[in-house]
Chain A
Amino acid sequence: MPDMRELLETAYAGEPPMRHSTDDFVAGGRTRRARRRAAWAAGAAGTILAVAAVAVVPQIVAGHGEVPASAQDAIRYPVTAFGYTLTGYTIGGIAVSDPVNVTPGYQQARIRRGDEATRLDRGDGTSEKVEVSSSVLTVYRYGVFDSAAVGGGEPVQVGGTTGRYVPDTMLAWQYGPDAWAVIRSAPGHLSLNDMVHVAAAMRIGPSRPATLPWRMTYLPAGYQLSSMGLVADDSVSGAHVQRGAARFTRQPERYSGLSGPLTGADADSLRIKVFPLWYGESQLPPLLRRTSAQPSAGPSYEPSLDPSRWPSYDPSAGSSVWPTSDPSAYPSPVDPFCVPGQSRCFRYTADGAYLIEATATAPEQNGELIQVLRGTRLADPDDPTTWSELGEALPRPAR
């Protein structure tokens, strides 16, 4: 008969491996100390001598591994593999977003003119107006972009440097030694003049960590983070319908001699994407759509934590048992389900507002993708202040 301690020891049996290493804890402590000092310095300077804060804060932050924001360092690249230094701006009615995707080799932002938008079919007979971006700004880390890709372009002055313009396609220019930025436009979207204005106005500030709108506990063995952001690297331009994405690969990708961004098309990739419900469901095969299957009754997206309502799960089969003929047997929103015959699984969030998709190019067992989805918890995808830095968002081996 166990005593109280043995009873508690039984409760924690089967504990998973730690996500954080000792280095992570030290880094967390340093970050916290840097933030406190910066906040203290900003507060004190604001109270006593506002002008002094301009000089003091960057020095303090710089002492802890961040990039200073002085004018001499206006053009810098993130100090970590997954960080942002580009900040969104607007010039002449053309808006450049904050970075929406980042890899160890570059960061990408969307370019949108005015109020460009489109209407997308919601799949239920109605449509949704969404913003659209037809051009993309890619800022490469030094040494990553192969300038031969624009070797045949026309010389064009961009600020104080000479860029290369490939008509109706792209403008490339050096923002630092062997460090290139490229604007790629859809045909007819941006003129040369537009591109030059956008390029000349680009500013890069202090490095800030990238964040994801989820925290996840599980990835199949061997996967490393390759790209991440608000949108996936295979859909940076186009309608603004994604609310977070990441791509993981088993083989490290090379970031040198690139003529353009990587899309993961040739890599052994595992992707996670978050969609608002209406768009996510439009991507599902018709049988799997809850809304289209029950249009008159109206979907009921309340959380269902009652295990008796979950579909049966057979670990040996590696997947949920998906009803193929009886719509009334649809699973509750919180349990993952998979598209038969594909390495493609989904999970509704408990509040029913979003759909999370996990796909793999390799023939992963659906059970693995289900485990990924089961171990993923969403913050508020529409509120980036709730997103998590990578140290908290991903299991340690994937970072």
Chain B
Amino acid sequence: MNSDEETNYRSFVDAQAHSLRRLAYLTCGDWQLAEDAVFTALAKLYTRWRRVDRPESYARSMVVRAAIDEGRRPWWRREQPAGHAIPERAVPDRTDEVDERLRIHAALDRLPRRRRAVLVLHYFEGLTVQETAEALDCPEATVKSHIVRGLRTLREVLGAGADLPAGELDEVERYARHA
């Protein structure tokens, strides 16, 4: 990597690292695992920088896959955290916002990581079903199935129709018909 390429890589990292970590966090539900996933993915990207045409989509795909894989690593299974719902700092957190966040966390935790990744890529990153399938290297039908089942699970946990808008509910039915 020459100096120009490294400058471009640095600019890319500056611009994308935070959003990639959010993407990883939404997939795995743990900030430390998420940052590890981003670190792993961006280190790989560094070695392939010249050969990657679309670094954004490459990094996104690598981060999500790494976030899915991080949970499978034996290193982390030795000890479970005392609870990622514990606040990072010792501050009072019994606010409605935090309660709502914890409720959403609990709902997302009900989803397998791959299914969660599908929802995040599709709804948070705005990828199409085809793009989501490419990012996760799986068939489009699998993506649709994950969307249907994932949204149904969220409906069950969060309360049917209470937090998921009609649009998404319609989408469940639409995907269910084609899945």
Question: Cβ of B17 and Cβ of A25 under 8 Å apart?
Answer: yes
A-B contact count (CB 8 A): 149
Question: Cβ of A367 and Cβ of B90 under 8 Å apart?
Answer: yes
Question: Cβ of B90 and Cβ of A25 under 8 Å apart?
Answer: no
Question: Cβ of B44 and Cβ of A217 under 8 Å apart?
Answer: no
Cβ contact of B79, chosen from A316, A335, A351, cutoff 8 A: A351
In angstroms, Cα B76 to Cα A365, docked, is 29
Interfacial chain B residues near A318, Cβ < 8 Å = 90
Please, what's the 1-or-0 string for B66-78, where 1 marks a CB less than 8 Å from any CB in chain A? 0000000001101
- Check: A218 CB closer than 8 A to any chain B CB: yes
Question: Cβ of B83 and Cβ of A305 under 8 Å apart?
Answer: yes
Interfacial chain A residues near B119, Cβ < 8 Å = 4, 8
- Check: B128 CB closer than 8 A to any chain A CB: no
Tell me the nearest residue of chain A to B85, going by C-beta.
A307
Evaluate whether A4 and B168 lie within 8 angstroms (CB atoms) in the complex, with A24-B39, A305-B83, A392-B36 already known. Answer: yes
Evaluate whether A5 and B123 lie within 8 angstroms (CB atoms) in the complex, with A25-B13, A335-B82 already known. Answer: yes
Evaluate whether A377 and B76 lie within 8 angstroms (CB atoms) in the complex, with A3-B168, A10-B100, A370-B90 already known. Answer: yes
- Check: A282 CB closer than 8 A to any chain B CB: no
Interfacial chain B residues near A1, Cβ < 8 Å = 163, 165
- Check: A203 CB closer than 8 A to any chain B CB: no
In angstroms, Cα B22 to Cα A335, docked, is 27
Please, what's the 1-or-0 string for A74-92, where 1 marks a CB less than 8 Å from any CB in chain B? 0000000000000000000
Question: Cβ of A392 and Cβ of B39 under 8 Å apart?
Answer: yes
In angstroms, Cα B163 to Cα A7, docked, is 8
- Check: A350 CB closer than 8 A to any chain B CB: yes
Evaluate whether A26 and B47 lie within 8 angstroms (CB atoms) in the complex, with A1-B165, A318-B90 already known. Answer: no
Please, what's the 1-or-0 string for A8-30, where 1 marks a CB less than 8 Å from any CB in chain B? 11111111101110101110111
Interfacial chain A residues near B76, Cβ < 8 Å = 377
Question: Cβ of B164 and Cβ of A20 under 8 Å apart?
Answer: no
Interface residues of A in 210-231 (CB under 8 A from B): 215, 217-218
Question: Cβ of A30 and Cβ of B46 under 8 Å apart?
Answer: yes
- Check: B130 CB closer than 8 A to any chain A CB: no
Evaluate whether A3 and B167 lie within 8 angstroms (CB atoms) in the complex, with A22-B13, A351-B78 already known. Answer: yes
Question: Cβ of A10 and Cβ of B101 under 8 Å apart?
Answer: yes
Question: Cβ of B35 and Cβ of A215 under 8 Å apart?
Answer: no
- Check: A292 CB closer than 8 A to any chain B CB: no
Query: How many of chain A's residues have a CB under 8 angstroms from any CB in B?
Result: 57
Shortest beta-carbon distance from B108 to chain A in Å: 6
Query: How big is chain B's contact interface, by range?
Result: 35 or more
Evaluate whether A4 and B123 lie within 8 angstroms (CB atoms) in the complex, with A26-B10, A29-B47, A305-B83 already known. Answer: yes
Question: Cβ of A25 and Cβ of B32 under 8 Å apart?
Answer: no
Question: Cβ of A386 and Cβ of B75 under 8 Å apart?
Answer: yes
In angstroms, Cα B26 to Cα A125, docked, is 50
Tell me the nearest residue of chain B to A347, going by C-beta.
B82
- Check: B104 CB closer than 8 A to any chain A CB: yes
Tell me the nearest residue of chain B to A32, going by C-beta.
B43
Shortest beta-carbon distance from A355 to chain B in Å: 13
Question: Cβ of A12 and Cβ of B26 under 8 Å apart?
Answer: yes
- Check: A119 CB closer than 8 A to any chain B CB: no
Interfacial chain B residues near A14, Cβ < 8 Å = 87-88, 98, 101
Tell me the nearest residue of chain B to A335, going by C-beta.
B82
Cβ contact of A13, chosen from B44, B81, B97, B123, cutoff 8 A: B97
- Check: A129 CB closer than 8 A to any chain B CB: no
Shortest beta-carbon distance from B31 to chain A in Å: 6
- Check: B21 CB closer than 8 A to any chain A CB: yes
In angstroms, Cα B21 to Cα A308, docked, is 31
Cβ contact of A5, chosen from B6, B14, B82, B124, cutoff 8 A: B124
In angstroms, Cα B36 to Cα A351, docked, is 23
Question: Cβ of A11 and Cβ of B108 under 8 Å apart?
Answer: yes
Shortest beta-carbon distance from B122 to chain A in Å: 8
In angstroms, Cα B159 to Cα A186, docked, is 70
- Check: A168 CB closer than 8 A to any chain B CB: no
Please, what's the 1-or-0 string for A229-263, where 1 marks a CB less than 8 Å from any CB in chain B? 00000000000000000000000000000000000
Evaluate whether A32 and B22 lie within 8 angstroms (CB atoms) in the complex, with A22-B17, A392-B39 already known. Answer: no
Evaluate whether A20 and B26 lie within 8 angstroms (CB atoms) in the complex, with A25-B43, A29-B42, A380-B78 already known. Answer: no
- Check: A371 CB closer than 8 A to any chain B CB: yes
Shortest beta-carbon distance from A58 to chain B in Å: 21
- Check: A117 CB closer than 8 A to any chain B CB: no
Interface residues of A in 293-352 (CB under 8 A from B): 303, 305, 307, 310, 315-316, 318, 334-335, 349-351
Interface residues of B in 112-157 (CB under 8 A from A): 119-120, 123-124, 126, 151, 154
Can you give 17 contacting A-B residue pairs, CB < 8 Å?
A7-B164, A8-B124, A12-B26, A13-B97, A18-B17, A19-B35, A22-B10, A26-B13, A32-B43, A303-B79, A307-B83, A316-B92, A349-B78, A351-B78, A367-B90, A370-B90, A380-B78
Q: A25-B17, A303-B79, A351-B79 are in contact. List 5 more A-B contacts (CB 8 A).
A: A9-B124, A22-B13, A29-B43, A29-B44, A305-B80
Interface residues of A, Cβ cutoff 8 Å to B: 1-5, 7-16, 18-20, 22, 24-26, 28-33, 36, 215, 217-218, 303, 305, 307, 310, 315-316, 318, 334-335, 349-351, 367-368, 370-371, 374-375, 377-380, 386, 391-392
- Top 3 closest A-B pairs, CB basis? A29-B46, A4-B123, A315-B90
